[in-house]
Structure 1
Amino acid sequence: MTTPSTTQNLSASSRPAAGASDLPTTTFAGRTGMAVGALSVPMVALYFVYSGPPPQWNVLTRSLLTLVIMAVLTAFGVALARLLPRDDTGRRAIVGQLTIVSLLTYVAVILFAASLEAGTPLAFPDRGMDPTTDGPLAAAMALAHGPIAHLWIAMFFLGFARAAQHRGTAASPMVPRWTLRGAIVVGVINLLAIPSLYFGMDATHFYAINGWGADALVGLITLVWVGFIGLGIHRASPGRLTPRRPPAETPART
């Protein structure tokens, strides 16, 4: 005769363990994460090619690269959602859900800002305007590229560092420890960039809301570290790290 407790045990054993290995998803997450980091370098470099107003091709090219990066980052987020540990009921912890929602919200914010940025050369192709400092859309995108993006990506990094630590005793770590420590550092850096809201829009100032430091440099560090998270996931994939074993039981004394 099957008792309710036996039924619960059978259903629990039929569910995949929290953090169970998923090699195709792990491979996909690792590659998309590394692709985000690699693509971000030429994208940010395009912002520093010209000291004055950039030509239309420059703005449109970096906007197109931004679209591609955000598309790949979305794919990375979907794969990461499948890898974050779950409890015995199959539910992801609140911090894990916050991690994924924050990342996808960051993607939406950056797409909105990129749309505004590309709008300036499209609307005024012959005026030689820098869309990050000139025109009616520059001020509109400043908060999106700056404090809003910094806060939401900080929630992603800090949430990821917390959520990825919840692994079963016998499960392999999701990423190496250096990846989690770096995620915390990058998350804090983004939090420190949020007050740039009070330092104006002179792009030559390091801490301006659209400055080369608080905006461009922090943005580059952010996307590059997503690449390192992808590298960490790849290095911690099944077969590359030895799973942790539960501690041996101490024999009882007679």
Structure 2
Amino acid sequence: MNENLARRFTGIAGTASAAALILEVPLYFVYSDEPPASNVLSRILIGLFALAALLLFVTGFRELVKRVAPEYEWAGSIASAAGLTYVAVTLVSSGLEAGAVIAADRPIDPTIAVDGTYILYGTIGRILLALFLASVGFALHRTRALPRWTSRAAYVLAAVNLAFVPSLFFGNTPADFYAANGWGTTALMGAILSYWLLAMGVTLLRSARAGR
């Protein structure tokens, strides 16, 4: 994969992931109380497509860094490892949540599975995403593969994600902003990530067209 192809591949993947997340996030705010199973399963399904595209994005980013500045391939590898781990952890939490929703009308306690997703969606996800974004910011800053604002934006988002790491100490009520699975910790962070991915995807595609 040459540099131009890496830019195009990563840009398309980032844009696709952003589009899926932009469709998913509003579903968190449709109901003020406990949402029906159809709502939860719909947003999980859309989220799975977003995660699949994100997996391609982090893989393509590592390849781009390798092509632009081989001496910083290690930074791209850290970003890729953190991103892939984030995808894996979120897939597990999505599977647990979907399984609990499907089994809610059966003689088992669905809260056993759902309770385990709180820290996966929240604190663990925020730490992994912060590491991913910080690594992306460092790699972009050093390689200058994209405009300077992209690295700064990644650093800012990494700091925002770190700010939500202690949310596990503030309960697990989805209606609360700052909680283990509060709408700020999960839905808001997903929305911010989606628009960052969209900006990155568009910038990468434009750089590919420019033949940079």
Normalised to the residue count of structure 2, the TM-score between the two structures is: 0.90
Matching of residue 24 in structure 1 with residue 5 in structure 2: yes
Larger deviation: 143-152 or 54-63?
54-63
Aligned length: 211
Look up the match of 1:4.
Answer: none
Out of 179, 183, 188, the residue aligned to residue 154 of structure 2 is: 183
Separation in 2, partners of 1:87, 1:232: 16
Larger radius of gyration: 1
Q: Which amino acid aligns with 1:229?
A: M
User: Which letter does structure 2 place at the counterpart of 1:112?
Assistant: V
Q: Determine if contact 1:87/1:93 at 8 Å carries over to the other structure.
A: no
TM-superposition CA deviations, 1:110-138 (whole Å, max 9, x none): 101100111122101489x9xxxx72222
C-alpha deviations, 1:143-169, integer Å up to 9, x for none?
0000101011111111111112333xx
Given that residues 85 and 166 in structure 1 are in contact (C-alpha distance below 8 angstroms), is that contact kept between their aligned partners in structure 2? Answer: no
Query: Deviation of residue 240 (structure 1)?
Result: 6.0
Answering whether residue 176 of structure 2 is matched by residue 205 of structure 1, we say yes
Cα distance between partner residues in 2 of 1:183 and 1:52: 33
Amino acid at match of 2:142: H
Q: Within 5 A, what are the aligned runs for 1:5-24?
A: 22-24=3-5
Q: Secondary structure at the match of 1:237?
A: helix
Sequence identity (%): 34
Distance 1:177 1:230 in 2: 15
Residue 84 of structure 2 corresponds to 104
**2:128 corresponds to:** 152
Question: Equivalents in 2 of 1:114, 1:140: separation in Å?
Answer: 11
- SS in structure 2 opposite 1:175? coil
Asked whether the equivalents of residues 58 and 79 of structure 2 are also in contact (C-alpha less than 8 Å), the reply is no
Q: Name the SS for the 2:52 alignment partner.
A: helix
Match of 2:75 in 1: 95
Gaps of 5+ in 1: 1-19, 168-172, 242-254
Structure 2 partner of 1:71? 52
| Cα distance in 2 for residues equivalent to 1:200 and 1:109 | 21
